[in-house]
Amino acid sequence: MRVEYINPFVEASFNVLREVLQSDVKRGELYLKSTSMPVMGVAAIVGLAGDVEGRVLFDMDKPTALKVASAMNGEELPTMDDLVKATITELANMITAQAVTKLHELGFRFDLTPPAIFTGDNMEVTDQDVEALIVPMEVPQGRIEINVAIRERS
């Protein structure tokens, strides 16, 4: 993944999470991964197109998703209902959009697809031959992994 793309995603994740959760956010060590990986339980995905092709996946477990959604809505949400899903989708959208805006300022053209959300147990995501950058984020509600895979169109 091009070096220029890394910081916008890291910064956007950090800023948006801190803003919507009104709390401390800690960033873990970035790393690359290319094998299939388990999804923790709730995954929101946003596709990228334009000069590049790729996707951003936001991955967290169910309790984290519920807590994050509760914090964002300012009320206790005990079950995985439509409001929770819509909230997590919106979070994914906000982070990706902010990153893409930053990239736009640097002169890279990206388009977004509408986010989609997946929930369930024992899920696994496999995308062949795609190397993903993992940005782990620790928030008081739990751990959110942002999984960015972008490559240039050749």
Partner 1 sequence: MTMQAELEKKSDSRTEEKKERADRVDFKMVTFSLGGKEYGIDIMNVKEIAKASKFTYVPNAAPFVRGVYNLRGEIISIIDLRTMFHLPSERKQDGSLESLLILRVEEHVFGVIVDNIDKVVGISKSSLQPPHPIFGDINVKYIRGIVENAGKLYIILDVEKIFMVDKDLKGARKEAAYEAPKPGMSERAFTSMEADGGDLDLGFIEETLFSFRHFAVTPVNDAWVKARFGQWKGMRKGTDLQLKEPGEADQYLETFYSRCSSVLWDSGYADQVLPVLPAAESRTINVWNPGCGRGHETYSFALLLRRKYPQARIKIWANDSDLLAISMAPNMTFQEQEIPEAYREHMVKGKNGYSFSQAVRDSIFFEFHDVQNANPLPPLDIILCRDTLSFMDVVQQKRLIAEFSERLKASGIVILGGNEKLVAGGWKSVSGDEAVSAYGKD
Report if residue 124 touches partner 1, rule: CB under 8 A. Answer: no
Q: Cα dist. 16→24, 120, 152 in Å?
A: 11, 25, 26
What is the enclosing helix (H) or strand (E) of 84?
A: helix 82-105
- Binding segment for partner 1 among 3-11, 65-73, 87-95, 108-116 (CB under 8 A)? 3-11
Residues 6+ apart with CB under 8 A from 109: 50, 51
Size of interface with partner 1, in residues (CB under 8 A): 18
Minimum Å distance from CB 36 to partner 1?
12
- For the purposes of burial, counting CB atoms within 10 Å of the CB of 149, is it exposed (0-12), middle (13-18) or buried (19 or more)? buried
Interface residues for partner 1 in 4-63 (CB under 8 A)? 4, 6-7, 30, 32, 34
121 or 153, CB closer to partner 1? 153
4 or 76, CB closer to partner 1? 4
Site for partner 1 (CB under 8 A): which residue of 103, 133, 134, 139?
A: 133
Residue 43 to residue 75: CA distance in whole angstroms? 22
Q: Which amino acid is at 106?
A: L
| Residues found near partner 1 in the complex (CB under 8 A) | 1-4, 6-7, 30, 32, 34, 128-131, 133, 151-154
